[in-house]
Protein backbone atom coordinates (compact mmCIF):
# COMPACT_ATOMS: atom_id res chain seq x y z
CA UNK A 1 0.00 0.00 0.00
CA UNK A 2 2.78 2.36 0.88
CA UNK A 3 4.39 2.05 -2.57
CA UNK A 4 1.05 2.61 -4.30
CA UNK A 5 0.58 5.90 -2.45
CA UNK A 6 3.72 7.44 -3.92
CA UNK A 7 3.48 5.60 -7.28
CA UNK A 8 0.23 7.31 -8.38
CA UNK A 9 1.60 10.88 -8.09
CA UNK A 10 4.82 9.84 -9.86
CA UNK A 11 2.83 8.34 -12.75
CA UNK A 12 0.65 11.48 -12.98
CA UNK A 13 3.74 13.74 -13.05
CA UNK A 14 5.38 11.50 -15.65
CA UNK A 15 2.28 11.61 -17.88
CA UNK A 16 2.09 15.40 -17.53
CA UNK A 17 5.81 15.74 -18.32
CA UNK A 18 5.47 13.54 -21.41
CA UNK A 19 2.44 15.56 -22.55
CA UNK A 20 4.28 18.88 -22.09
CA UNK A 21 7.38 17.53 -23.82
CA UNK A 22 5.43 16.29 -26.85
CA UNK A 23 3.33 19.47 -27.02
CA UNK A 24 6.41 21.67 -26.86
CA UNK A 25 8.22 19.66 -29.55
CA UNK A 26 5.13 19.70 -31.77
CA UNK A 27 4.81 23.48 -31.44
CA UNK A 28 8.51 23.99 -32.15
CA UNK A 29 8.22 21.82 -35.26
CA UNK A 30 5.20 23.76 -36.53
CA UNK A 31 6.84 27.10 -35.72
CA UNK A 32 9.93 26.14 -37.72
CA UNK A 33 7.73 25.00 -40.60
CA UNK A 34 5.98 28.40 -40.61
CA UNK A 35 9.36 30.18 -40.55
CA UNK A 36 10.51 28.03 -43.47
CA UNK A 37 7.35 28.84 -45.41
CA UNK A 38 7.84 32.56 -44.79
CA UNK A 39 11.39 32.22 -46.03
CA UNK A 40 10.06 30.63 -49.23
CA UNK A 41 7.80 33.65 -49.75
CA UNK A 42 10.68 36.08 -49.26
CA UNK A 43 12.84 34.14 -51.72
CA UNK A 44 10.14 34.35 -54.39
CA UNK A 45 9.54 38.05 -53.68
CA UNK A 46 13.27 38.65 -54.11
CA UNK A 47 13.27 36.68 -57.37
CA UNK A 48 10.41 38.79 -58.65
CA UNK A 49 12.12 41.99 -57.51
CA UNK A 50 15.22 40.96 -59.47
CA UNK A 51 13.13 40.56 -62.64
CA UNK A 52 11.45 43.97 -62.43
CA UNK A 53 14.44 46.20 -63.35
CA UNK A 54 14.95 44.19 -66.55
CA UNK A 55 11.27 44.46 -67.37
CA UNK A 56 11.30 48.21 -66.73
CA UNK A 57 14.34 48.70 -68.94
CA UNK A 58 12.72 46.73 -71.75
CA UNK A 59 9.53 48.79 -71.56
CA UNK A 60 11.52 52.04 -71.18
CA UNK A 61 13.12 51.39 -74.55
CA UNK A 62 9.69 51.78 -76.14
CA UNK A 63 7.95 54.18 -73.76
CA UNK A 64 10.61 56.34 -72.15
CA UNK A 65 8.15 59.20 -71.60
CA UNK A 66 6.19 57.14 -69.00
CA UNK A 67 8.65 57.97 -66.19
CA UNK A 68 6.01 58.22 -63.44
CA UNK A 69 4.91 54.63 -64.12
CA UNK A 70 8.52 53.43 -63.90
CA UNK A 71 9.07 55.35 -60.66
CA UNK A 72 5.92 53.87 -59.13
CA UNK A 73 6.94 50.34 -60.08
CA UNK A 74 10.45 50.88 -58.74
CA UNK A 75 9.09 52.25 -55.45
CA UNK A 76 6.59 49.40 -55.11
CA UNK A 77 9.31 46.85 -55.93
CA UNK A 78 11.54 48.25 -53.20
CA UNK A 79 8.68 48.10 -50.70
CA UNK A 80 7.98 44.42 -51.38
CA UNK A 81 11.51 43.41 -50.40
CA UNK A 82 12.23 45.95 -47.68
CA UNK A 83 13.30 44.30 -44.42
CA UNK A 84 10.61 46.18 -42.48
CA UNK A 85 7.86 44.78 -44.69
CA UNK A 86 9.30 41.28 -44.86
CA UNK A 87 9.40 41.07 -41.07
CA UNK A 88 5.60 41.15 -40.79
CA UNK A 89 3.09 39.40 -43.04
CA UNK A 90 0.57 42.25 -42.70
CA UNK A 91 3.11 44.82 -43.94
CA UNK A 92 4.23 42.51 -46.74
CA UNK A 93 0.60 42.05 -47.78
CA UNK A 94 0.10 45.83 -47.92
CA UNK A 95 3.22 46.19 -50.08
CA UNK A 96 1.94 43.39 -52.34
CA UNK A 97 -1.26 45.31 -52.98
CA UNK A 98 0.68 48.44 -53.95
CA UNK A 99 3.00 46.42 -56.16
CA UNK A 100 0.09 44.79 -57.99
CA UNK A 101 -1.36 48.21 -58.79
CA UNK A 102 1.97 49.51 -60.05
CA UNK A 103 2.47 46.46 -62.25
CA UNK A 104 -0.98 46.89 -63.78
CA UNK A 105 0.07 50.41 -64.80
CA UNK A 106 3.31 49.10 -66.31
CA UNK A 107 1.50 46.46 -68.33
CA UNK A 108 -1.10 49.01 -69.42
CA UNK A 109 1.77 51.07 -70.87
CA UNK A 110 3.18 47.97 -72.55
CA UNK A 111 -0.16 47.20 -74.19
CA UNK A 112 0.03 50.50 -76.06
CA UNK A 113 3.17 49.37 -77.94
CA UNK A 114 2.60 46.41 -80.27
CA UNK A 115 6.30 46.23 -81.16
CA UNK A 116 7.08 45.81 -77.43
CA UNK A 117 4.60 42.97 -77.17
CA UNK A 118 6.52 41.19 -79.93
CA UNK A 119 9.92 41.76 -78.27
CA UNK A 120 11.45 38.42 -77.23
CA UNK A 121 13.08 39.89 -74.11
CA UNK A 122 9.76 41.32 -72.98
CA UNK A 123 7.96 38.03 -73.63
CA UNK A 124 10.62 36.05 -71.75
CA UNK A 125 10.51 38.45 -68.80
CA UNK A 126 6.73 38.30 -68.77
CA UNK A 127 6.82 34.49 -68.71
CA UNK A 128 9.35 34.50 -65.87
CA UNK A 129 7.24 37.01 -63.96
CA UNK A 130 4.10 34.91 -64.42
CA UNK A 131 5.99 31.83 -63.22
CA UNK A 132 7.28 33.73 -60.20
CA UNK A 133 3.80 35.02 -59.36
CA UNK A 134 2.55 31.43 -59.44
CA UNK A 135 5.36 30.41 -57.09
CA UNK A 136 4.57 33.29 -54.73
CA UNK A 137 0.93 32.22 -54.66
CA UNK A 138 1.91 28.61 -53.89
CA UNK A 139 4.36 29.74 -51.18
CA UNK A 140 1.65 31.94 -49.67
CA UNK A 141 -0.77 29.00 -49.55
CA UNK A 142 1.90 26.80 -47.92
CA UNK A 143 2.70 29.52 -45.37
CA UNK A 144 -0.95 30.14 -44.51
CA UNK A 145 -1.52 26.39 -44.15
CA UNK A 146 1.38 26.16 -41.72
CA UNK A 147 0.09 29.17 -39.78
CA UNK A 148 -3.38 27.61 -39.63
CA UNK A 149 -1.97 24.35 -38.27
CA UNK A 150 0.29 26.14 -35.76
CA UNK A 151 -2.45 28.50 -34.54
CA UNK A 152 -4.92 25.63 -34.20
CA UNK A 153 -2.49 23.64 -32.09
CA UNK A 154 -1.95 26.66 -29.83
CA UNK A 155 -5.67 27.36 -29.42
CA UNK A 156 -7.02 23.86 -28.73
CA UNK A 157 -7.58 22.70 -25.18
CA UNK A 158 -5.49 21.85 -23.17
CA UNK A 159 -2.61 23.23 -25.27
CA UNK A 160 -4.01 26.76 -24.88
CA UNK A 161 -3.24 26.54 -21.16
CA UNK A 162 0.46 25.83 -21.70
CA UNK A 163 1.39 27.27 -25.11
CA UNK A 164 1.61 30.91 -24.04
CA UNK A 165 3.69 29.97 -21.00
CA UNK A 166 6.05 28.07 -23.29
CA UNK A 167 6.58 31.22 -25.37
CA UNK A 168 4.33 30.45 -28.35
CA UNK A 169 1.99 33.07 -29.75
CA UNK A 170 -0.43 33.08 -32.65
CA UNK A 171 1.18 33.84 -36.02
CA UNK A 172 -0.19 36.23 -38.65
CA UNK A 173 -1.64 34.96 -41.90
CA UNK A 174 -0.35 36.49 -45.12
CA UNK A 175 -3.60 38.08 -46.22
CA UNK A 176 -3.77 40.76 -48.83
CA UNK A 177 -6.28 43.55 -48.35
CA UNK A 178 -7.13 43.77 -52.06
CA UNK A 179 -7.24 40.11 -53.03
CA UNK A 180 -8.51 40.88 -56.53
CA UNK A 181 -5.43 42.99 -57.22
CA UNK A 182 -3.02 40.09 -56.80
CA UNK A 183 -5.21 37.04 -57.38
CA UNK A 184 -4.00 36.63 -60.93
CA UNK A 185 -0.51 37.11 -62.24
CA UNK A 186 -0.09 40.31 -64.29
CA UNK A 187 -1.09 39.73 -67.89
CA UNK A 188 -0.59 41.54 -71.14
CA UNK A 189 -3.32 41.28 -73.72
CA UNK A 190 -2.15 40.77 -77.30
pLDDT, tens digit, 9 for 90 and up, residues 57-95: 888 777 777 778 888 888 888 888 888 878 888 888 888
Question: pLDDT tens digits for 2-36?
Answer: 777 788 889 999 999 999 899 999 999 999 999 99
Which residues, including other chains, have CB under 8 Å from residue 2's CB and lie 6 or more apart? none
Question: Is 72 contained in some domain?
Answer: yes
Residues 6+ apart with CB under 8 A from 173: 89, 144, 147, 148
In this structure, is residue 95 part of a structural domain? yes
CB atoms under 10 Å from CB of 176, counted, come to 19
Establish if 190 belongs to a structural domain. Answer: no
Could you tell me the CATH number of the domain that includes residue 78?
1.20.1440.20
C-alpha separations of 21 from 15, 40, 60, 149 in Å: 10, 29, 59, 19
Could you tell me the residue range of the domain that residue 54 belongs to? 2-182
Instruction: With CA atoms as reference, report the closest residue to 103 among 123, 77, 84.
Output: 77
CA 171/CA 85 separation, integer angstroms: 15
Q: pTM above 0.85? A: no
In a domain, 162, yes or no: yes
Is residue 11 situated within a structural domain? yes
Amino acid sequence: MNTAAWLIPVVIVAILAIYLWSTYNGLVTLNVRVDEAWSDITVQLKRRADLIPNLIETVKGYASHESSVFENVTRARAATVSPANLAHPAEAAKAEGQFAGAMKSLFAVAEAYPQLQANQNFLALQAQLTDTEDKIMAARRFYNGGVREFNTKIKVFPNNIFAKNMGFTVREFFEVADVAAIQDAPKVQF
